[in-house]
């Protein structure tokens, strides 16, 4: 059965990438919580998606140029890991952060086997693999499915528009990879991807995914 993965927490109902969204997803009973991690100017690992503060805070500044205090609603990676420990696994997308620092934070939480790390950046994934090869890694793609990967991964995260048939899912599975699809919010699409055998559905509305799987 496909995993229910809450995209930035239960972001369809609560502010994305915040502790309220994450705690709500945990209460719902999701399998995984997906978050984005970036590093601030003062070296803090915060959970925040955009590279700039404009959309969330109305401030024209990049996250990497901002101090931690300028993102008051963004939890740290450590806070999220502690909130999820023993309740759900965590899917960590590294946006712009030192992969070694991310690996060490996961180690401190004792969650090396409860976290999957993924990224669009191949160099970043290579650096993370060197930092801690035991933590599972997935590769992210949004415009084409790769024929070959330069890093060892356990699975792929694909934009839903790339998964056009069951054949795509089967092709990924034949290569020994798991397949997560994002971001799926319509029940009809959820049912289709489940019928095709995807391994996880990343959604802003994890309650809809749970309802779909319960039928």
- The answer on pLDDT for 115 being more than 90 is yes
pLDDT at 69 over 80: yes
CATH number at residue 8: 3.20.20.190
pLDDT at 74 over 70: yes
* Count of domains observed in the chain: 1
129-164 pLDDT, tens digit per residue, is 999 999 999 999 998 887 777 678 999 999 999 999
User: Residue 7: which pLDDT band, with cuts at 50, 70 and 90?
Assistant: very high
Contacts of 117 (CB under 8 A, 6+ apart): 92, 93, 94, 102, 106, 125, 128, 135, 136, 137, 138
Cα 44 from chain centroid (whole Å): 19
Domain that holds residue 63: 3-214
């Amino acid at each position: 059965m496909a995993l229910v993965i809450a995209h930035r927490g239960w972001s369809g109902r609560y502010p994305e990438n915040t502790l309220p969204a994450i705690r709500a997803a945990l209460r719902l009973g999701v399998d995984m919580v997906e978050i984005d991690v970036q590093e601030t100017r003062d070296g803090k690992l915060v959970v925040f998606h955009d590279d700039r503060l404009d959309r969330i805070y109305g401030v024209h500044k990049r996250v990497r140029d901002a101090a931690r205090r300028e993102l008051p609603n963004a939890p740290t990676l450590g806070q999220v890991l502690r909130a999820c420990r023993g309740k759900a696994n965590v899917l960590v997308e590294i946006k712009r952060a030192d992969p070694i620092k991310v690996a060490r934070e996961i180690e401190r939480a004792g969650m090396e086997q409860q976290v999957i790390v993924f990224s669009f950046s191949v160099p970043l994934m290579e650096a993370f693999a060197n930092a801690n090869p035991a933590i599972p890694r997935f590769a992210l793609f949004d415009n084409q499915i790769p024929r070959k990967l330069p890093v060892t991964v356990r699975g792929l995260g694909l934009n839903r528009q790339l998964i056009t048939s069951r054949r795509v899912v089967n092709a990924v599975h034949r290569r020994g990879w798991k397949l997560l699809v994002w971001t799926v919010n319509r029940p009809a699409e959820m049912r289709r991807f489940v019928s095709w055998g995807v391994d996880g559905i990343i959604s802003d509305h994890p309650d809809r995914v749970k309802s779909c799987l319960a039928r």
